[in-house]
Amino acid sequence: MKNIIFLIFALFMININAQNTLPQSGDNILDPNADKFMGTWLWQSGNNSLKLTFKKENILLPFPDNVHADWVIGFHKFVNNGSTIEDSMMFAQTNYIDKKKHCSCRI
């Protein structure tokens, strides 16, 4: 019985060590799944509309050292009864480093 428990524990530890998911210095984490969200999305109902623009950039993360990752940044325009309530579309051609994005996330 002791040997079976030891074997299960050993296999468990090997599995943990084999799945080192923490980024190492110099890593570049790519996310091809984010591509399906890129582009401009528009919802419209009468005089109301919401326009979202998403783009993906490979940025240097603030932690850990020298790790790059794909990041999604977004911009929006909300119109209610023909009046623009919020609009960040004028910054849609800027980059992440410009700090003009309205939202950003990792998908």
33-68 pLDDT, tens digit per residue, is 989 999 999 999 999 999 999 999 998 888 778 899
| Statement: residue 18 has pLDDT above 80 | no
The percent helix, strand, coil of the chain (3-state, each to 5) is 25, 40, 35
pTM: 0.67
> Collapsing DSSP states into helix, strand and coil, what is residue 11?
helix
Return d(Cα 26, Cα 37) in angstroms, integer. Answer: 27
* 45 beta partners: 48
Ramachandran assignment for 64, one of left (phi > 0), alpha (psi -120 to 50 degrees), beta (any other): beta
- Phi and psi angles of residue 46, each rounded to the nearest 5 degrees, phi first: 65, -125
- Identify the band that residue 11 occupies on the pLDDT scale cut at 50, 70 and 90: very low
The model's pLDDT over 75-96, given as tens digits with 9 standing for 90+, comes to: 999 999 999 999 999 988 888 8
In this prediction, residue 95 carries a pLDDT of 80
